[in-house]
């Protein structure tokens, strides 16, 4: 069975029982047992799996999880790589037809933030979007040239995290600039848990369901399982390894389902826009997008989860408020 590990702050916990500082904890139900390890980084923790197993097997009653303040379980600096348009439902929303070439891009690891931290919209960003994504956390070095088969996944992937690939769409589209549009501070909420997998858990990955909703109306915005994926993890790692090494603690975001705020315009509008100069085209496009109520606004609260229906793998719940930069 999978093991959920929490990383916490030091000295800012909400109860005297947890005042001894931050660290790593194994979560069992609503309580957490400290992992006796000197590990500071995620890579160091993954190298000390025996300490994690000891905490998981401990008879201690533990500390209430509610008394602990969660940090992102993926420590930085690290590589943060993401897949573009990797769910069929997202491809449909984005106006893609036919085969979609597998595409990767990088995010700055400075964008990684905690599972309950506030997402801050920069003053110049008008169209802020959400993308719930499953993150793969590497447990071993993936050298350039590696071919990863399904049965090899446990060798390279240590665990999973819940992430949100927050995107400044007006930056992304007008500049065709993924790196900037997705790399502002707080643009990759991660956690709460690092869910460490046992080899038998990998057979259940396609049952994972990604869900995201906003507090403004409680209506689900995104809701799909990994069965909707176009390029699955083993193939993605093989393609990535053609040019990119990954190391323990590095993070691969595997794409988002349909349901984001951004949608492709109708075909007729798209054909007309293609005749316009770029500046006029984008001005017309974003004039239409300004009427779209689904973009993130000051005061929104995003709730996201990833889990299998039977609870065998449960990455926890992420609750991130949105605010405008002061």
Give yes or no for a contact between 104 and 136, defined as CB atoms under 8 angstroms apart.
no
Task: Please tell me the least confidently modeled range out of 7-21, 100-114, 142-156, 229-243.
Answer: 7-21
pTM: predicted TM-score of the whole model, two decimal places: 0.92
Query: pLDDT, tens digit, for every residue of 75-93?
Result: 999 999 999 999 999 999 9
Q: What percent of the chain has pLDDT over 70?
A: 90
pLDDT at 66 (0 to 100): 94
Query: pLDDT, tens digit, for every residue of 97-142?
Result: 888 899 999 999 999 999 999 999 999 999 999 999 999 999 999 9
pLDDT at 267 (0 to 100): 57
Q: What percent of the chain has pLDDT over 90?
A: 80
* Residue 248 pLDDT exceeds 60: yes
pLDDT at 278 (0 to 100): 67
Strands 193-196 and 188-189: unpaired
| 226 phi, psi to nearest 5 deg | -65, -15
* Residue 15 pLDDT exceeds 70: no
Per-residue DSSP letters for 125-165?
---EE--EEEEEEE-S-B-TT----GGGHHHHEEEEEEEE-
Exposed/middle/buried for residue 146 (C-beta within 10 Å: 0-12, 13-18, 19+): middle
Query: pLDDT, tens digit, for every residue of 302-325?
Result: 999 999 999 999 999 999 999 999
pLDDT at 10 (0 to 100): 67
Q: What is the pLDDT of the chain when averaged over all its residues?
A: 91
pLDDT band at 11 (very low <50, low <70, confident <90, very high): very low
């Amino acid at each position: 069975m999978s093991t959920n590990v929490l990383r916490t702050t030091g000295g800012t916990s909400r109860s005297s029982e947890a005042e001894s500082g931050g660290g790593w904890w194994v979560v069992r139900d609503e309580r957490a047992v400290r992992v006796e390890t000197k590990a500071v980084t995620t890579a160091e923790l993954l190298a000390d799996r025996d300490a994690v197993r000891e905490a998981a097997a401990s008879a201690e009653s533990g500390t209430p999880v509610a008394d602990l303040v969660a940090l992102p379980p993926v420590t930085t600096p690290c590589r943060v790589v993401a897949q573009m348009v990797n769910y069929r439902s997202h491809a449909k929303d984005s106006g893609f037809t036919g085969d979609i070439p597998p595409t990767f891009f990088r995010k700055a690891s400075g964008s990684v933030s905690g599972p309950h931290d506030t997402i801050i919209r920069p003053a110049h960003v008008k169209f802020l979007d959400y993308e719930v994504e499953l993150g793969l956390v590497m447990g071993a070095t993936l050298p350039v040239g590696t071919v990863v088969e399904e049965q090899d996944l446990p060798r390279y992937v240590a665990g999973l995290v819940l992430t949100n690939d927050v995107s400044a769409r007006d930056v992304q589209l007008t500049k065709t600039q993924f790196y900037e549009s997705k790399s502002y501070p707080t643009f990759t909420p991660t956690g709460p848990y690092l869910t460490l997998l046992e080899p038998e858990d990998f057979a259940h990955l396609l049952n994972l369901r990604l869900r995201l909703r906003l507090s403004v109306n409680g209506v689900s915005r995104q809701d799909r399982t990994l069965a909707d994926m176009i390029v699955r993890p083993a193939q993605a790692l093989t393609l990535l390894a053609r040019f990119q090494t990954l190391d323990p603690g590095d993070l691969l975001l595997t794409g988002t389902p349909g349901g984001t705020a951004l949608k492709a315009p109708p075909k007729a509008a798209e054909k007309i826009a293609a005749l316009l100069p770029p500046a006029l085209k984008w001005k017309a496009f974003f004039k239409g997008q300004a009427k779209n109520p689904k973009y993130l606004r000051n005061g929104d609260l995003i709730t996201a989860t990833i889990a299998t229906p039977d609870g065998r793998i449960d990455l926890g719940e992420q609750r991130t408020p949105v605010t405008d930069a002061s």
